[in-house]
Chain A
Amino acid sequence: MSRFPQLQPFGELPAPSGALLSDLARILGPDAISVSPQDRLEASRDMWPRAILWRRKGLYPPAPQAVLYPSHAEDAARIFRWASERGIPVVPVGGRSGVLGGVVALEAGALAVDTRRLADLDPPDRERMEATVGAGVLGADFESMLEREGFTLGHAPASIGGSTVGGWIATRSAGQNSSRYGKIEDMVVELECVLGTGEIVHPARPTPGTDWVELFCGSEGSLGLVTRATFRIWPRPAVSRFRAWRFPRIENALDAMREILQSGARPSVLRLYDPIDTLLSFPPWGEGEGAPRRPPGLRELWPRTPRPVPLRRLWNFALWDPRALNGLARLRRSAVLVLGHEGEAWEVEAEARAAAEVCARSEGKDLGPAPGERWMRHRWESARHFPTVFEMGGWVDTLELAIGWGGVARLYHAVRKAVAPHAFCMAHFSHAYPDGCSIYFTFLGAAEDPDRGLGQHEATWAAALAAARDEGATLSHHHGVGLQKAAWLEQELGDEGMGVLRALRRACDPAGILNPGKFET
């Protein structure tokens, strides 16, 4: 039930026409265009696990005719006006860390617009406590600049080493401190955005009437290209403190999370691990030595050399039919909640005391600061395990859903049950709000036989999303829609909601050139 691109076997890429290149050179200058096969192939993919499995079969999504590198909004405007006149599809590409195929073109003939030269990175406005940054700046570079200036954005997604600011906005990204600082759409003050028509607009807050920022956030390059953004920023916290709690059951911990947030407290970290994720995230055998301390870049996350055959066989044997492993997982019940508090000393102390009282009332057992401090040291590492799984001949994928508090536990159990025949499943609850929470599922499967692996992957997604829909959850919390979830968008918005989305697209991009095929069923 997903919409997939026309795959092609690896081979020589057809050269773009001379007329097209000379037009583009006139618009942008020759230095802002690449037709190198490597650049074109790289621009055609992101970290979509399904595409990694296709690659194992020697199949690739269509590569763009050329990769264009605008340096300013005006460059993008000229490209879009030119492409609109000719009906040439344009796919915006940033850090390519997306996991749903959002930058994958459905058909050949598109142009990729790479945002990485939209790289303004000026010091923040201290008076207004805001920072303006080019959409192509890597998240880690943005946060490092703010850190040097004594500020933080409060946004730390696991992809921060490889994702761009524009990508965050395009997908409505969430970071590890979302319970205090919000998601990326909560942080935006103003956007600079180039519509498909070539118009440059500046949706800003606060403004009376329509909040256009809410319409460009999550638009995945289908309404316009975000070229620059201004965010609210915060002073770097003076104090931070961790404390973890073990709960007899997930439900106790969810009650505690809800109570903490509804009381008005805003912990910077509020992460609940289900029993299996608890075991893997806080293993009894300790944390090992020499753990890397920085977020991984995209190249570190791409699978490389296959692991030895016996290891791959063992993995595939265990995961071709994951029911036994999922059954064993049900024997474990307890779950660990990690709390992080940051801010000024008075705030941290009062918030930590209040949260501790709530956790104790919900039958939590105090584990002290060590698990949280360990989480902080290792927080970038879970992403590094992803390529390992593919190197073992398996597949791994993640799904992030959200629902009001009344449905969180039910949603968790429903998705686990639905997925159990298809993939090994674990989850954590890492983005919580006063009214509800996101669940981040991780699915593991076998793919030594890529066709069978692709079938297992598809069945897993279909089962998980159908269960989530039936429970009334939104089918994406912070990864966006891409191609993997495109067919499910209508399930969530309905025919009429899809009509509104189409109207919005027509208004922003009448020629329909921007990321065609996305947000369509």
Chain B
Amino acid sequence: MIEEIGSIDEAAMWIEIPSTVSVWRVEERLRTRGLTLGPQPPSVLRRTVREWLEGPNAGRWVEGGRLACCAAAIKVRLDDGSVVRTLPAPRSAMGPSIAHVFLGSQGSRGEILWAVLRAQRLRRRSVEIAYEGPPRTLAAWLQQECRRIEPPRGAEIVGGNPAVLSLLFSADTELERARATAAADAARAFGLGRAETPGLAASERDWESEVPADAWESLLSAIPAGHRVWLTRIARETAVAVTSEVTGRHLPVMVEPSLDLEPLAERLGQALRLH
């Protein structure tokens, strides 16, 4: 069944959609209007909006270098059949953000039926710069570049020592082009040597893991020589590493949930069932 994608608010760059639509279809629709959900790992694009919002990725995207939730509003059906709808807003201080009771909850607290997703302008041009050096130095360079207001939109790593790190920047505006130039200057300041960009290589990308920034050095060091890993949805604090199943076996999985919140999560589920 083809689900109808709702309206696009072009001024706010918001799109209204039923949650059963695939994220890829949303992205396709946005692209016809010059908009995008931004860089996302392949697994997100294969999922429905509901799976994306309720799953561990919890609808996250990168905005202004920060990992955030791209849902501006959601509609949720609770166990008792009642429906909760939040108000789309750029930001709000009307209490806690109750949408986050449901986002990332694996559907255990309610079923997300509908969402208003934020989008961003689609960048038409990009520039890629590649440098080689010890994994540790490359990781320091990557971390520095991600601590700017706008991090790279993507990265590709070829393992080894020296390893090669290639960063991808948007290049539609003068500011974006200046950003890429600053990154190249910083690489030279780290003592890294210019390298050819690795170029596209046919490879399965069926292994994914979120990797926090303080583990990037471990990640780069763990990639076997000649193996490739891509980073996407790069924020200051974290990125998603994507690679083949074969390469993934060599890589660490890093992000763990806070255990001290489990009793609270359990009580919240019970309280919602009594709602």
Hey, which bits of chain A sit against chain B, CB under 8 A? 128-129, 171-172, 174, 180, 182-183, 185-186, 189, 195, 199-212, 214-220, 223, 232, 234, 258, 262-266, 343-344, 346-347, 349-351, 353-354, 400, 402-406, 431, 433-438, 472-481, 485, 489, 492-494, 496-497, 499-504, 506-508, 510, 519
Contacts and interface: CB of A to CB of B under 8 A. Distances in A.
Interface in B226-275: 235-238, 255-258, 260-261, 263-265, 267-268, 270-272, 274-275
A300 B221 CA distance: 56
Given A200-B260, A503-B268, A435 B118 contact: yes
Interface centre among B12, B85, B97, B148 (most CB of A within 10 A): B12
A507 B9 contact: no
Contacts of A494: 84-85
A375 B181 CA distance: 33
Interface string B37-60: 000000000000000000011100
Contact of B86 (A354, A493, A499): A493
Given A208-B56, A402-B91, A503-B274, A497 B255 contact: no
Nearest to B260: A201
Given A217-B97, A406-B10, A501-B96, 18 more contacts: A174-B91, A209-B56, A210-B100, A215-B100, A232-B236, A266-B149, A343-B149, A346-B178, A350-B174, A404-B90, A434-B63, A435-B14, A473-B89, A476-B94, A500-B272, A500-B275, A501-B98, A506-B271
Interface of A is mostly: mixed
Query: Contact residue range for chain B?
Result: 35 or more
Interface of B: 9-14, 56-58, 63-64, 66-69, 72, 78, 82-101, 103-106, 118, 120-121, 147-150, 170, 173-176, 178-179, 181-182, 210, 212, 214, 235-238, 255-258, 260-261, 263-265, 267-268, 270-272, 274-275
A347 B179 contact: yes
B178 A203 contact: no
Given A208-B56, A481-B95, A214 B64 contact: no
Contacts of A475: 94
A345 to B, nearest CB: 10
B187 to A, nearest CB: 15
Nearest to A261: B64
Contact of A207 (B63, B68, B69, B255): B255
A344 B182 contact: yes
Contacts of A182: 64, 66
Interface centre among A203, A349, A500 (most CB of B within 10 A): A500
Interface centre among B95, B150, B212 (most CB of A within 10 A): B95
Contacts of B97: 185, 214-215, 217-218
Contact of B104 (A208, A351, A501): A208
A404 B90 CA distance: 6
Given A216-B96, A402-B89, A266 B255 contact: no
A224 B150 CA distance: 34
Contacts of A438: 90-91
B214 to A, nearest CB: 7
10 smallest CB-CB distances across A and B, nearest first, come from A436-B90, A404-B12, A503-B271, A208-B56, A406-B11, A172-B93, A474-B89, A214-B100, A209-B104, A507-B267
Contacts of B78: 496, 500
A434 B86 CA distance: 20
Interface centre among B69, B78, B175 (most CB of A within 10 A): B175
B254 to A, nearest CB: 10
A278 to B, nearest CB: 23
B104 A210 contact: yes
